[in-house]
C-alpha cells in the first residue's frame, strides 16, 4: 500500500522527527536517496552534465546538495537559481565547494540542451499556485523537449498542487520523481500525477510520526486480503446473490457485460432483471444467470447493481431496487434516479461527465479537480463515489479515499464501465463494504484491462471481461474453497 499524506501532516511529522536529529540530518537522508536514484539513471556519474533548477526553499536545497555530491563524483554540475538572494545557503555553499557553477539566465537554455540530467528543485511541498516568471519559462523548455537529459523532480514536479493533484498553472513535467517520507496526492491523482513520471520513494524515517493515511493506493497484497473467500461450508446463497438491473432494448450489450462482470466478482448467484428480449441475450451468453422481468419478480438478492445501459425508462424498477434496503451500486443511467441522500450502503460509479451533471459543473472542472469533486459527491449523497477515468478515485463519505493504481487507457472503450458495475456489485453482494467493493473492483478491472491490452492491443470490453478470471486467480493464488 502506498500511504499518501497532506503537507500539513508531513510538516508536523518532519518537525517531530527533526527534534530527535542533529540539524540538517533529515535533509541529508533525502539527499542520499536522491543521489542514489540520479546515479542509477546516469550512464556513469563521472563527466555527466547535471543541471539544477533551484528555487528558494528546501526543495532547492535538496537539489543543490545532491548536485554537490554528484560533482564530487566527477559530474559537471551547473545550477540556475530562481531566487538567487534566497537560495538555500548550506546547499549553495556545498554546491560551490564541490566545483558547481552558476548559470546566468541567458545561458539556461544551452545548459538544458546539453544536460544528461536535470534536477527540478524549484518547488516542493511548499509550492502553491503554478510556476511564474523564469520558472514557468524553464518548465516550458523542459516540456518542449529542449533537453536530452532525464528530468528528475525532487519530491514532486514543481508547480503541481501537492494535496489535490490539481495543476493550477505552469508546472514541470518530469521523467522521474524522487519523493521523500510518504506519498503526496499530486503523485497519484491526475492531472498532476501525469507529470510525475516514474516514482522513486525514499524512506527518511518519517513513518512513525505520520498519522493513519486518509488517502491510500492499494497493491496486490492488500487486494488479495480483501477478496471474498468462499469458506468450506459456503453455498451459492451465503456467498451472496447479486441482482443486476441493466440493459434495454437499445443497449442489450450492457446487460450482458454487467452480468459477466458480476459472475466473476465472487457472488454465488447473479439474478438479472429486465425485458425478456434482453434476458434472452443474457441467458444465451451466461446460462448460469437467472432472469426475471423486474426487481420484485427476480427473487431475493443481497445487493443490487443498477443502471448500466438502462436508457430512459424503468424509473419504477430503479426505485424498487434502490428502495429495497440493500447495498446498491448505481451506474450510468441509474444516476438519474438518485435519492436525496442514501441511508444504506451505496456505491456510485460516474465518469467525469456524469459526475459533472450530478454536481452541476463542467466536465473539465471535474477532470481538473478529481479528488475534490469525488469527495464532495460522496458527502453530498452519503455514498462511496467511484469516479472513473484516467485516475479512478474512490471516495468515502467519511473523507477516506483510495486511488486506483491499475488503470489503463486501454479500458477507455464502450462497455468496460458495465463490466466494472457488475463486478463491484458482485463484491458488494459478497459482503465487502462499499469502499472495499469499489476499490477492489476498480483494481481488478484495471488489471484485466492491462492483461487484455497485452494480448490484444486494442481490447474490447469483452476482452477485458475475459481476463477477469485470470486476474482473480493470480491474486488469490491457489486457495480454493474450504
- Strand duo 384-387 + 393-395: pairing: antiparallel
Q: Which residues bind ligand ADP (CB under 6 A)?
A: 332, 351, 388-390, 392, 407-409, 411-412, 414-418, 420, 445
Query: Residue 120 binds which entry of ligand ADP, ligand NAX, K ion, none, with Cβ cut-offs from 5 to 8 Å by kind?
Result: K ion
Q: Which of 6, 58, 147, 158 binds K ion (CB under 5 A)?
A: 158
**Residue 116 touches K ion, criterion: CB under 5 A:** no
> Residue 62, annotated ligand binder?
yes
| Placement of cell 478491472 in the chain | 445
56 vs 310 by CB, closer to ligand NAX: 56
What's the grid cell of residue 233? 461450508
> Residue 254, annotated ligand binder?
yes
Closest separation in Å from C-beta 242 to ligand NAX: 45
> Residue 274, annotated ligand binder?
no
> Residue 125, annotated ligand binder?
yes
Residues 199-228 binding ligand NAX (CB under 6 A) are: 204
> Residue 309, annotated ligand binder?
yes
Entry field: residues in the chain: 482
User: The dihedral of CA 250, 256, 261, 263: what is its sign?
Assistant: positive
> Residue 418, annotated ligand binder?
yes
**Residue 105 touches ligand NAX, criterion: CB under 6 A:** no
Q: Which of 120, 331, 367, 463 binds K ion (CB under 5 A)?
A: 120
Closest separation in Å from C-beta 204 to ligand NAX: 6
Q: Which of 79, 112, 152, 154 binds K ion (CB under 5 A)?
A: 154
**Residue 180 touches ligand NAX, criterion: CB under 6 A:** yes
Q: Return the number of other C-beta atoms located less than 10 Å from residue 65's C-beta.
A: 29
121 vs 309 by CB, closer to K ion: 121
Residues 20-49 binding K ion (CB under 5 A) are: none
> Residue 415, annotated ligand binder?
no
> Residue 128, annotated ligand binder?
yes
- Neighbour order of strands in the sheet with 150-154: 101-102, 76-81, 49-54, 117-121, 150-154, 176-180, 198-202
Closest separation in Å from C-beta 172 to ligand NAX: 12
Site string for K ion, 286-325 (x = CB under 5 A): ----------------------------------------
Closest separation in Å from C-beta 4 to ligand NAX: 14
> Residue 126, annotated ligand binder?
yes
Closest separation in Å from C-beta 78 to ligand NAX: 20
CA dihedral 198, 201, 202, 204 (to 10 degrees): 150
Closest separation in Å from C-beta 40 to K ion: 19
Nearest in space to 63 (alpha carbons), one of 196, 177, 209: 177
Q: Which stretch binds ligand NAX (CB under 6 A): 124-132, 290-298, 344-352, 461-469?
A: 124-132
What's the grid cell of residue 331? 451506474
- DSSP-assigned beta bridge partners for residue 304: 243, 328
Query: Residue 306 binds which entry of ligand NAX, ligand ADP, K ion, none, with Cβ cut-offs from 5 to 8 Å by kind?
Result: none
> Residue 100, annotated ligand binder?
no
> Residue 59, annotated ligand binder?
yes
Closest separation in Å from C-beta 449 to ligand ADP: 7
User: What is d(CA 79, CA 63) in angstroms, rounded to the nearest whole number?
Assistant: 9
> Residue 449, annotated ligand binder?
no
**Residue 155 touches ligand NAX, criterion: CB under 6 A:** yes
Q: Which of 2, 13, 27, 437 binds ligand NAX (CB under 6 A)?
A: 27
143-149 — which CB contacts under 8 Å span 24+ positions? 143/172, 143/173, 146/109, 146/112, 146/113, 147/51, 147/112, 147/113, 147/115, 147/118, 148/113, 148/114, 148/115, 148/116, 149/49, 149/51, 149/112, 149/115, 149/116, 149/117, 149/118
Q: Which stretch binds ligand NAX (CB under 6 A): 51-59, 186-194, 262-270, 435-443?
A: 51-59
User: The dihedral of CA 151, 103, 186, 125: what is its sign?
Assistant: positive
User: What is d(CA 255, CA 272) in angstroms, rounded to the nearest whole number?
Assistant: 8
Q: Which of 33, 57, 197, 415 binds ligand NAX (CB under 6 A)?
A: 57
* Binding annotation for K(+): 59, 120, 158
Known binding-site residues for (6S)-NADPHX equal 58-62, 124-130, 155, 254, 309, 351, 418
Interface residue list for ligand NAX (CB under 6 A): 14, 18, 26-27, 30, 55-60, 62, 123-129, 131-132, 154-155, 180, 204
Binding site for K ion (CB under 5 A): 59, 120, 153-154, 158
Amino acid at each position: 500500500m502506498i500511504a499518501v499524506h497532506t503537507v500539513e501532516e508531513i510538516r508536523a511529522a518532519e518537525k517531530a522527527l527533526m527534534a530527535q536529529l542533529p540539524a540538517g540530518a533529515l535533509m541529508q537522508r533525502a539527499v542520499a536517496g536522491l543521489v542514489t536514484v540520479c546515479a542509477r539513471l546516469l550512464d556513469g556519474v563521472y563527466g555527466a552534465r547535471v543541471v539544477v533548477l533551484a528555487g528558494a526553499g528546501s526543495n532547492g536545497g535538496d537539489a543543490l546538495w545532491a548536485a554537490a555530491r554528484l560533482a564530487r563524483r566527477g559530474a559537471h554540475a551547473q545550477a540556475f537559481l530562481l531566487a538567487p538572494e534566497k537560495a538555500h545557503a548550506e546547499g549553495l555553499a556545498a554546491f560551490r565547494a564541490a566545483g558547481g557553477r552558476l548559470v546566468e539566465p541567458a545561458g539556461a537554455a544551452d545548459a538544458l540542451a546539453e544536460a544528461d540530467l536535470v534536477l527540478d528543485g524549484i518547488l516542493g511541498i511548499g509550492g502553491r499556485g503554478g510556476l511564474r516568471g523564469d520558472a514557468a519559462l524553464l518548465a516550458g523548455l523542459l516540456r518542449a523537449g529542449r533537453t536530452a537529459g532525464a528530468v528528475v523532480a525532487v519530491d514532486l514536479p514543481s508547480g503541481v498542487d501537492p494535496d489535490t493533484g490539481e495543476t493550477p498553472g505552469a508546472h514541470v513535467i518530469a521523467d522521474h520523481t524522487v519523493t521523500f517520507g510518504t506519498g503526496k496526492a499530486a503523485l497519484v491523482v491526475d492531472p498532476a500525477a501525469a507529470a510525475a513520471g516514474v516514482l522513486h520513494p525514499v524512506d527518511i524515517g518519517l513513518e512513525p510520526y505520520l498519522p493513519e493515511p486518509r488517502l491510500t493506493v492499494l497493491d496486490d497484497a492488500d487486494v488479495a486480503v480483501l477478496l471474498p473467500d468462499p469458506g468450506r461450508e459456503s453455498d451459492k446463497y451465503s456467498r451472496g446473490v447479486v441482482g443486476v438491473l441493466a440493459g434495454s432494448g437499445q443497449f442489450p450489450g450492457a446487460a450482458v457485460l454487467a452480468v459477466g462482470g458480476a459472475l466473476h466478482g465472487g457472488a454465488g448467484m447473479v439474478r438479472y432483471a429486465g425485458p425478456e428480449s434482453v434476458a434472452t441475450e443474457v441467458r444465451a451468453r451466461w446460462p448460469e444467470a437467472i432472469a426475471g422481468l423486474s426487481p420484485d419478480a427476480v427473487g431475493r438478492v443481497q445487493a443490487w447493481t443498477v443502471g448500466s445501459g438502462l436508457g430512459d425508462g424503468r424509473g419504477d424498477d430503479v426505485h424498487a431496487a434502490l428502495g429495497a434496503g440493500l447495498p446498491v451500486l448505481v451506474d450510468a443511467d441509474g444516476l438519474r434516479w438518485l435519492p436525496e441522500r442514501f441511508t444504506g450502503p451505496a456505491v456510485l460509479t460516474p465518469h467525469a461527465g456524469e459526475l459533472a451533471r450530478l454536481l452541476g459543473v463542467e466536465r473539465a472542472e471535474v477532470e481538473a479537480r478529481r479528488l475534490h469533486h469525488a469527495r464532495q459527491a460522496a458527502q453530498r449523497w452519503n455514498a462511496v463515489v467511484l469516479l472513473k477515468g484516467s485516475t479512478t478515485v474512490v471516495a468515502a463519505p467519511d473523507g477516506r479515499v483510495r486511488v486506483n493504481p491499475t488503470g489503463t487507457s486501454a479500458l477507455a472503450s464502450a462497455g468496460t464501465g458495465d463490466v466494472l458495475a457488475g463486478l463491484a456489485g458482485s463484491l458488494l453482494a459478497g459482503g465487502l463494504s462499499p469502499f472495499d467493493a469499489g476499490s477492489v473492483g476498480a483494481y481488478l478491472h484495471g488489471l484485466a484491462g492491462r492483461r487484455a491490452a497485452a494480448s490484444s492491443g486494442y481490447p474490447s470490453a469483452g476482452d477485458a471481461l475475459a481476463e477477469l478470471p485470470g486476474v482473480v486467480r493470480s491474486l488469490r493464488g491457489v486457495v480454493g474453497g474450504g
